[in-house]
């Protein structure tokens, strides 16, 4: 009777819905990771451009919705809380940039495993700012997570040493850990905003400031780092006089 009571049934329905949505989100994140690895393998290194497109879509959909909403609209929110969303967007933009940049230096497996470092950082921030309390089992899981992070970093360094280089692997792992810390900050702010304010407000302001920050950073990167492409001749190279040129800088910005 207790198991099939309306309250208990609603609880299990909510739990099942949460688990399913979490798994769908995991599949989407996995697809993003695989796509990033394919781009790096193909020689396409555009970490900031990828983030800029994501925030532009948020700007197009949710910021537009927020600006036309009656009551507390975009301008009223910006007057009082613009700096809070600016800091949240900065943390989220740099987290995305760091993790996508890491694909150029380390492996997909290492990135996905090291990304779990966000869990202990998130728990710490939630304990301090959201007053969330955890049980002993949660802390045991965090210790296992930290042990796995340390083992993964050690394995990457040893593998890089066997290949004659450890700097790039260590740099990639460091970018993933930095990204995990920034993601934890962004996720804590996101949880507080969504539960206490509005999901439309959060997505709209993140789209606005995320597009602004990533656009400025993208413009700066394009000026500091020239883009190199490989020019391909329309005919086959059939003699010594035919030459294929590669690595020529182009002036076109991303």
pLDDT in tens, 176-199: 999 999 999 999 999 998 888 888
H, E, C per residue of the chain: CCCCCHHHHHHHHHHHHHHHHHHHHHHHHHHHHHHHHHHHHCCCCCHHHHHHHHHHHHHHHHHHHHHCCCCCCHHHHHHHHHHHHHHHHHHHHHHHHHHHHHCCCCCHHHHHHHHHHHHHHHHHHHHHHCCCCCCHHHHHHHHHHHHHHHHHHHHHHHHHHHCCCCHHHHHHHHHHHHHHHHHHHHHHHHHHHHHHCCHHHHHHHHHHHHHHHHHHHHHHHHHHCCEEEECCCCCCCCCCCCCCCEEEEECCCC
Angle at 120 between CA 172 and CA 22, to 5 degrees: 90
Write down the pLDDT at residue 7.
56
Question: What does the domain layout of the chain look like in residue ranges?
Answer: 1-44, 46-226
Contact by Cβ (8 Å): 248, 229: yes
Which tens digits make up the pLDDT trace of 120-169?
898 899 999 888 888 888 888 888 878 877 787 777 777 765 554 455 78
Residue 9 has pLDDT above 90, yes or no: no
In the predicted structure, residue 6 carries a pLDDT above the cut 70? no
pLDDT at 87: 94
Model confidence pLDDT, tens digit, residues 16-25: 898 899 899 8
Note the pLDDT of residue 56. 94
- pLDDT tens, residue by residue, 53-104: 999 999 999 999 888 887 777 888 888 889 999 999 999 999 999 998 898 8
Residue 245 clears pLDDT 50, i.e. is over it? no
């Amino acid at each position: 009777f207790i198991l099939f009571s309306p309250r208990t049934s609603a609880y299990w329905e909510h739990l099942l819905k949460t688990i399913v949505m979490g798994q769908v989100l995991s599949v989407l994140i996995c697809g993003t990771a695989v796509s990033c690895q394919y781009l790096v393998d193909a020689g396409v290194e555009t970490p900031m451009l990828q983030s800029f497109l994501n925030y532009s879509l948020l700007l197009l959909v949710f910021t537009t919705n927020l600006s036309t909403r009656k009551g507390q609209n975009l301008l009223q929110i910006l007057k009082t809380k613009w700096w809070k969303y600016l800091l949240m967007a900065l943390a989220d933009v740099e987290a995305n940039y760091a993790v996508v940049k890491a694909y150029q230096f380390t492996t997909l497996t290492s990135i996905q495993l090291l990304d779990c470092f966000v869990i202990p950082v998130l728990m710490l921030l939630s304990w301090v700012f959201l007053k969330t309390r955890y049980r002993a089992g949660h802390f045991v899981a965090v210790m296992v997570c930290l042990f796995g992070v340390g083992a993964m970093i050690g394995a990457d360094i040893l593998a890089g040493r066997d290949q004659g280089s450890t700097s790039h692997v260590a740099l990639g792992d460091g970018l993933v850990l930095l990204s995990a810390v920034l993601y934890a900050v962004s996720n804590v702010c996101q949880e507080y905003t969504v539960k206490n304010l509005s999901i439309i407000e959060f997505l709209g302001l993140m789209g606005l400031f995320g597009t602004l920050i990533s656009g400025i950073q993208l413009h700066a990167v394009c000026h500091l780092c020239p883009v190199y492409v490989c020019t391909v001749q329309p005919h086959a190279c059939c003699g010594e006089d035919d030459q294929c040129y590669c690595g020529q800088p182009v002036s076109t910005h991303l």
